[in-house]
Amino acid sequence: MIEKARERVVQNQWGNVMLLCSPVETADIPGLANAALFHFTHDILRRPAAVDNVMRSLEPGARVVASGLTWARAWATPANLLVLPAALRSVTSLEGLHEPWSRLAERTGPLDVETILLGAAHIASRRLAGRA
């Protein structure tokens, strides 16, 4: 996948994209970024050391966004019947699937959370303290 990403960066002439191929917990992230996106990265969001390493690389006022699968409320059983097989194919543990963003929120403060697809997915975001 890193090779495909490199090809896209070259093809689109994205000069502001840096790709790293490393475990998140130990990735040497140079400089400070103004945003972090955790997109369908449930396992990473559940590992405190991974979240901490990404958070250390963000400048004050950076935007943080997490999106992915979420257990829907009990009344939305059909949505959960779709979440379960998708999760079993894409995560190593169902732990925390009711609020996958919770460990991120422990580090950022409360997140604005929007559930979509009958509650089967989420988008959680926050701008970090610092510059406006």
Question: Is the pLDDT score of 131 beyond 80?
Answer: no
Where residue 93 sits, what CATH number does that domain have? 3.40.50.150
Q: Which residue has 């979440």 as its token pair?
A: 83
Question: Is the pLDDT score of 132 beyond 80?
Answer: no
**Interatomic CA distance for residues 121 and 40, integer angstroms:** 9
Q: Which tokens hold the place of 102?
A: 């919770």
Residue 40 covered by a domain: yes
Task: Give tens-digit pLDDT for 54-95.
Answer: 999 999 999 999 999 999 988 888 899 999 999 999 999 999
Residue 80 covered by a domain: yes
Residue 107 covered by a domain: yes
Task: Give tens-digit pLDDT for 36-48.
Answer: 999 999 999 999 9
Which range marks the domain in which residue 16 is found?
2-127
Residue 97 covered by a domain: yes
Residue 132 covered by a domain: no
**Interatomic CA distance for residues 75 and 25, integer angstroms:** 37
Residue 60 covered by a domain: yes
Q: What percent of the chain has pLDDT over 90?
A: 80
Reported in sequence order, the residue ranges of the chain that DSSP labels E, i.e. its strands, are: 33-39, 58-69, 112-116, 121-127
| Among candidate residues 70, 66, 83, the one with its CA nearest the CA of residue 123 | 66
SS3 per residue for 32-65: CEEEEEEECCHHHHCCHHHHHHHHHCEEEEEEEE
Which pTM value belongs to this model? 0.84
**What is the number of structural domains in the chain?**
1
Mean pLDDT, residues 104-124 taken together = 94
**Whole-number pLDDT of residue 107:** 93
**Whole-number pLDDT of residue 71:** 93
| Among candidate residues 113, 11, 3, 118, the one with its CA nearest the CA of residue 66 | 113
**Whole-number pLDDT of residue 97:** 93
Contact 68, 96 (CB under 8 A): no
